[in-house]
Amino acid sequence: MQFGLLFPGQGSQHTGMGRELFEEYKLARETYEDADRILGYSISSISFDGPEETLRETRNTQPALFVHGIAAFRVLSESGFEFSVAAGHSLGEYSALTAAGALEFADALRLVRRRGELMHEAGLKRPGSMAAILGLSQAEVIEICDEASRAGVVQPANLNSSSQSVISGELVAVEAAVNLARERGAKRAVMLPVSGAFHSPLMESASLGLSKILAEIKINRAEFPVVANYSALPVREPEDIREHLAKQVLGAVRWEESVRRMLSTGVRHFLEVGPGNVLKGLMRSVDKEATVLSAGTPGDIASAVALLDRQKVT
Catalytic residues: 90, 199
DSSP bridge partners of 156: 167
Rounded to the nearest angstrom, the gap between the alpha carbon of residue 10 and the centroid of all alpha carbons in its chain is 7
Distance CA 158, CA 307 (A): 32
Residue 168 pairs with which residues in a beta bridge? Answer: 130, 155
Euclidean distance between CA atoms 7 and 9, whole angstroms: 7
Instruction: Please state, in angstroms and rounded to a whole number, the distance separating the CA atoms of residues 244 and 231.
Output: 8
For 216, phi and psi rounded to 5 degrees?
-100, -15
3-state secondary structure of 166: strand
Distance in Å from the first CA to the final CA of the chain: 11
Would you list the DSSP string of 106-122? HHHHHHHHHHHHHHHHH
DSSP 8-class letter at 203: G
How many whole angstroms separate alpha carbon 261 and alpha carbon 255? 10
Residue 275, preceding bond cis, omega within 30 degrees? no
